[in-house]
Amino acid sequence: MIELVRRRSAMRASALVIAAGVSFGAAAVATPASAAPPVAGVATARPAPPAPSTSTGYGGAVSSVDAEASRIGLEVLRKGGNAADAAVATAAALGVTEPYSAGIGGGGYFVHFDAETGEVTTVDGRETAPAAMESDAFIDPATGSPYSFANAVSSGLSVGVPGTVATWEAALEEYGTESLKEMLKPSILLATRGFRVDETFAAQTAANQARFAQFPATAELFLPGGAPPEVGSTFRNPDLAKTLREIALRGTDAFYEGVIAEEIAALVQDPITTDDAELPAYPGFMTADDLAGYEVLLQDPTHVEYRGLDVFGMAPSSSGGTTVGESLNILENFELSPDDPGQALHLYLEATAHAFADRNAYVGDPAFVDVPTETLLSQEFADSRACEIDPEQASVRPVAPGDLDATGCEVAAAAASVDQGMSTTHLSVVDRWGNAVAYTLTIEQTGGSGMTVPDRGFLLNNELTDFSFVPNPDDPNIVEPGKRPRSSMSPTIVLDDGEVRYVVGSPGGSTIITTVVQILLNRIDLGMDLAEAVAAPRATQRNTVATLAEADFIAEYADDLAPYGQGLSATGEIGAAATIEVDDDGLMIAVAEPERRGGGTGLVVEPAD
């Protein structure tokens, strides 16, 4: 089932003025009149209290990559909000503190479990291609060849119509108890007062300094004084506070119609660069009409059974649910034991390689492509793929996609995987009633397109680079007007006898899929507790010749995998998960990364003794 959801009219939005500093569920806290008006950039930071990566207790739980965001979500739960309310408030805060990974200039996928009805439903807030964008948009007319990926990213050509703000509205209207106005208040305050710059934020800024410097609005905001902000300083974003305040006041029409929409479209069509800019900053196709016409989709989740558990994920346009589901269905054919981690990990790498072959061959936006979702999620199809796997020897990769009509181990032509951006962020929430949300949101690359909307305080995404650049009609992921690019975001909710057991998700481009599968493998099959499952070193096999692995994974498992012919190539961090487990007695374990991406924060409302 897929249902289009139109945005609420601005006439129904609240007419209350939102103060610069406010908090959920309380009277407005105005900025003191004697205080100087906030300015973008940095200042002396206030000390930050310790932020645990893992917390255990009752009454609700929030897990995200950022301490400020997790605390805001927890406060919503503490004051009576439900999981959807807390998820939106946490996501809005991540747009402030993690502006290179998420924000109102991007999109994402929202998976929701209703404890009262037992239903899992989803909101597809993926960005869309503009109506005027054709399949050859990434082909250079001067050469007839595709633009380079690096040049296409930092341009108007890469920007999809954002879906995040519409996702928040739909999530609150469908599942929440609070208004968007209330859920934006903490982030307005956070953007106004600022947050402490940590090592990750400073490093991400420095890594993007060269391209940020070529876009004046981005340089003004994120390179104060021409350099990245210093660790320990306070970063303020009053322009973003102003933008969020307008959305809180007027509803989503403030973003999708009127001045903000016109400003977004103008920047996409005519990127503003410095006089000495080296980036070509190709113009894009987005218009204000594209923004006004944006709609989220309410649709059914994907579903598979694994070891007696019900695993729900995101259906296409994301490939996350089908590929996680197929990988687990393949693994269902094998007994995996913590006593033989080498074979278990060998089979994990084989399962994801085969599932990625099918992802690449068959998954795209179902509004434009006949995606065989039911087949990809069927145990029969997974069984036919499992029979191609040698339990004792690695396959030659890339492997072929499966024959959708196969009853045995038939072989087709191989096709390698195409990667996507390595940024994005994820949050997980469970409330006191047992409702749950897994929400992955993104602006794609770290820093998105690199283009900040002038005087608005947010970066635009580069999601359209997730499309295939070459317009092959047999490719399910070619550019088409109004189409959603294929994604790997994999927000996942696992139920045990109708109640939440795990909420899982991660950033990391196409490694999101393998990260989610590996965490579930670690927890369900390899005897790790959830904190161990998240912290364990990772490897990713996405039907590529090389299997990429973190250094600690190579050190710990290379010898175990060598007899199976599984070679490993070193890479940096893989993923940055945010997870929650609920045990049979209702005890909640909120687990975020202890180290990756600077470490995350898992919090509970009532900590256990």
Q: What is the side-by-side order of every strand in the sheet holding 548-549?
A: 539-540, 548-549, 569-570
Q: Give CA–CA dist 530/583, Å, rounded.
A: 11
Q: What is the pLDDT of residue 20?
A: 30
Q: Give CA–CA dist 597/298, Å, rounded.
A: 31
Q: Per-residue confidence at 527, pLDDT binned at 50, 70, 90? A: very high
Query: Among candidates 230, 173, 175, which has minimal Cα distance to 201?
Result: 230
CATH class of the domain defined by 301-421+487-590: mainly alpha
pLDDT in tens, 331-344: 999 999 999 999 99
Please say whether the beta carbons of 521 and 332 come within 8 A.
no
Tokens at residue 227, please? 């350099």
Q: Give CA–CA dist 59/493, Å, rounded.
A: 19
Q: Which of 424, 440, 442, 515 is catalytic?
A: 424
Tokens at residue 452, please? 């900040």
Please say whether the beta carbons of 459 and 447 come within 8 A.
yes
pTM metric for this prediction: 0.93
Which amino acid appears at position 512 of this protein?
A: I
Q: Give CA–CA dist 599/70, Å, rounded.
A: 12
Tokens at residue 274, please? 């410095």
Q: What are phi and psi of 12, to 5 degrees?
A: -95, -5
Please say whether the beta carbons of 189 and 21 come within 8 A.
yes
Radius of gyration over every alpha carbon of the chain, rounded to an integer in angstroms: 23
Domain range list for the chain: 59-297+423-466, 301-421+487-590
Burial bucket for residue 22 (CB in 10 Å: 0-12, 13-18, 19+):
buried
Q: Give CA–CA dist 138/145, Å, rounded.
A: 8
Q: Give CA–CA dist 69/82, Å, rounded.
A: 16
Q: Give CA–CA dist 538/91, Å, rounded.
A: 26
361 phi-psi bin (left φ>0, alpha ψ -120 to 50, beta other) = alpha
Sign, CA dihedral 383-468-320-110, equals negative
End-to-end CA distance of the chain: 44
Give the E-state strand segments of 191-256 in sequence order. 195-196, 233-236
Which amino acid appears at position 271 of this protein?
A: P
Please say whether the beta carbons of 44 and 399 come within 8 A.
no
Q: Per-residue confidence at 502, pLDDT binned at 50, 70, 90? A: very high
Lowest mean pLDDT among 34-48, 243-257, 357-371, 538-552: 34-48
Please say whether the beta carbons of 247 and 255 come within 8 A.
yes
pLDDT in tens, 383-441: 999 999 999 999 999 999 999 987 655 544 444 444 444 579 999 999 999 999 999 99
Q: What is the pLDDT of residue 609?
A: 72
For residue 398, cis peptide bond before it (omega within 30 degrees of 0) = yes
Q: Per-residue confidence at 11, pLDDT binned at 50, 70, 90? A: very low
- 3-state DSSP assignment of residue 528: coil
Query: Among candidates 296, 300, 367, which has minimal Cα distance to 122?
Result: 300
Q: Per-residue confidence at 51, pLDDT binned at 50, 70, 90? A: confident
For residue 471, cis peptide bond before it (omega within 30 degrees of 0) = no
How many alpha carbons lie under 13 Å from residue 511 in its C-beta half-sphere?
Answer: 21
Query: Among candidates 235, 240, 210, which has minimal Cα distance to 453?
Result: 240
- pLDDT at residue 37 above 70? no
pLDDT in tens, 279-312: 999 999 999 999 999 999 999 999 999 999 999 9
The residue to which tokens 């010749």 are assigned: 545
DSSP 8-class letter at 82? -
Q: 424 catalytic, yes or no?
A: yes
User: How far, in whole angstroms, is CA 277 from its chain's centroid?
Assistant: 30
